[in-house]
Amino acid sequence: MVVGIHHLCNRVFVTDGSHLETNKSLNPGGRPAGHYTRTARCRPVEPRTGQDPRSEGHAHPRKQETDERERRSQESTVRADPQVPQTGSRIPSSGERTRRAGRRLQGIRSPMLERNIFCCGVILAIVCLNVASGAAIQSAFQATGSNETDVTLEGTKDSCVNRCNQRGVDHRYPCQCCTACTKYNDCCADYTDVCHAKPGISNQELLDWSRDMHDNDINGVADIILSLQSKTKAGDSSDKAPASLFGNLPADVFTGPTVKALIALHDNYEAQVSHRETITDQERAEEDAFLDAIMGTYVMKSAHQFLADRGMVDTDAEKFKKYLHTIWFGMYSRASGVVGSSGFEHVFVGEMKNGISGLHSWVRYALLEQTGSINYLGYINDVLLGVSSMLERPMKWNGVYKPISSIAVAGSPELEIALGTVCFLARPNSLCPLHGSNNNQYHYQTYTLPYKGVTYVGSAYPTV
């Protein structure tokens, strides 16, 4: 929460962007003590030259009326106040003026003054608490880790994520998310997608649909036996599992049509997000082949129909495929402005950004474990989902430690894309409730990533 303070005891800005305008004049002609007006118009936090027309230009009629009333009040006070010299009067010395002012202020019990002093104390306390809590949160992340610790992404200044319905124009951002932004044509590109709710999808609909997806995932891999070994906890980097997680894989585990199309994409990316990615024609053809393979399955056709029926995607299959390519394979920046990442790379391949970032595909994990690049350290949570299972665990990839990450073992690539896409649209930046084929509940967590006017998949992974 950000609290802006402008002339601290005269005007206090609150977190929702509105503010209290208070006249603290102690002269008899000012507003009565305790009088205030709440202003909730979309306008800048502080006046500045060349600012938004919502706070510049012609003065508001009510403001003109107030100014005129205060001017007359001041003129009346000048005529009545014995301290103000009249024609032919003796001008008091500075010492006399000081003593008189002190006597006049002594004993004043102004409710307005007391309220403003109280507000100043409260605002300063909130600021201190926010600074302290922010440091505590950062320390907690550093100590225990998180399934996703890289959710602060490049390009978020162009987004309305976590900024919807702000009542004040915030000049820290190049675009706005208040309700008046449509009138002044300064909305962020994702204002409609993020701030205007589409036809809702209930939790029960998500649970029923996801159970059907698990039931009909024909390209899922059965008979995978996991060697869970000992339980551990996030932040514990000791190895509590001497054996591999995937100790007994079926011979045909990587031969399914959509699994093979997925594996063909693994070598198309640089792990470091600070390295610029270059997509070749061959790699683009492999992306199209993967999308063609999954779009022919019942799972993806069902996901398309589920979203189209609720007005969230186009009913045309080719347009839906193009949309999938945009949000999953569209490139953006996660570090220093370098275009070196995508939602697909993050989720299905894994990246390096101040440590391990993403890597939520069980296929990728199993292949890396076979080469010795991944070290399984034990498990934190295990949820059986029928044929598949959701597993949260720490890991080391090429010696780099990640305190907690998750995979849904045995599900097909189309199941993971379908669940991630539906939750990306139905429950963006939040937990999305799902059911396995055995009715056990788990969730998908998604993060959106706005970049240059387009909202991409930032991350998507299963969790408890």
Q: How many CB atoms within 10 Å of residue 398?
A: 12
Amino acid at 373: S
Q: For residue 289, tell me if it sits in a domain.
A: yes
- My answer on whether 294 and 396 are in the same domain is yes
Q: How far apart are CA 288 and CA 263, in angstroms?
A: 14
Mean pLDDT by groups of 10 residues along the chain of 464 residues? 37 36 39 38 42 44 52 46 43 51 47 51 48 41 47 60 80 86 84 70 97 97 94 94 93 96 97 93 98 98 97 96 98 92 98 96 97 96 95 96 97 98 96 97 96 95 96
- Secondary structure of residue 414 in the 3-state scheme: helix
Residue 233 falls in the annotated catalytic set = no
Measuring CA to CA, how many Å separate 6 from each of 16, 19, 115, 254? Answer: 15, 10, 17, 62
Q: Which helix (H) or strand (E) holds 44?
A: strand 43-44
- My answer on whether 127 and 208 are in the same domain is no
Q: For residue 55, tell me if it sits in a domain.
A: no
By DSSP bridging, strand 374-376 and strand 389-397 are antiparallel
Q: For residue 102, tell me if it sits in a domain.
A: no
Q: Hey, what are 455's tokens?
A: 């909202």
Q: For residue 146, tell me if it sits in a domain.
A: no
Q: Which residues contact 283 (CB under 8 A, 6 or more apart)?
A: 265, 268
In sequence order, what DSSP letters do the residues of 240-302 get, joined into one string? Answer: ---S-S--B--TTTT-SHHHHHHHTTGGG--SBTTSPP---HHHHHHHHHHHHHHHTSHHHHH
Q: Which residues contact 380 (CB under 8 A, 6 or more apart)?
A: 231, 232, 233, 234, 392, 393, 394, 404
Q: Which of 19, 402, 435, 443 is catalytic?
A: 402
Q: How far apart are CA 182 and CA 156, in angstroms?
A: 20
Sequence-ordered alpha helix ranges (H) in 35-147: 61-80, 94-105, 111-144
Residue 301 falls in the annotated catalytic set = no
Q: Hey, what are 452's tokens?
A: 């240059």
- My answer on whether 239 and 358 are in the same domain is yes
- My answer on whether 127 and 258 are in the same domain is no
Q: Which of 19, 214, 304, 360 is catalytic?
A: 360
- My answer on whether 129 and 215 are in the same domain is no
pLDDT at 147: 62
List strands edge to edge, sheet with 36-39: 5-6, 11-13, 19-22, 36-39
Q: For residue 292, tell me if it sits in a domain.
A: yes
Count of domains observed in the chain: 2
Q: How many CB atoms within 10 Å of residue 63?
A: 11
Residue 360 falls in the annotated catalytic set = yes
- My answer on whether 264 and 126 are in the same domain is no
What b-and-e string marks burial along 130-165, b requiring 16 or more CB atoms within 10 Å of the CB? eeeeeeeeeeeeeeebebbbbeebbbbebbbbebee
290 by Cβ neighbours in 10 Å (0-12 / 13-18 / 19+) ranks as buried
Q: Which of 346, 353, 435, 443 is catalytic?
A: 346
- My answer on whether 131 and 278 are in the same domain is no
Q: For residue 99, tell me if it sits in a domain.
A: no
Which residue is associated with the tokens 């909130």?
Answer: 126
Which residue is associated with the tokens 């720490």?
Answer: 394
- My answer on whether 237 and 129 are in the same domain is no
Q: For residue 76, tell me if it sits in a domain.
A: no
Which domain does 290 fall in, by range? 201-463
- My answer on whether 277 and 370 are in the same domain is yes
Angle of helix 413-426 relative to helix 317-329, nearest 10 degrees, comes to 90
115 by Cβ neighbours in 10 Å (0-12 / 13-18 / 19+) ranks as middle
Contact (Cβ atoms closer than 8 angstroms) between residue 439 and residue 368 = no
Which residue is associated with the tokens 């118009």?
Answer: 41
Domain boundary among 114, 135, 156: 135
- My answer on whether 211 and 348 are in the same domain is yes
- My answer on whether 227 and 374 are in the same domain is yes
The C-alpha angle 359, 361, 365, rounded to 5 degrees, equals 75
402 by Cβ neighbours in 10 Å (0-12 / 13-18 / 19+) ranks as buried
Q: For residue 402, tell me if it sits in a domain.
A: yes
- My answer on whether 419 and 300 are in the same domain is yes
Domain boundary among 77, 109, 135: 135
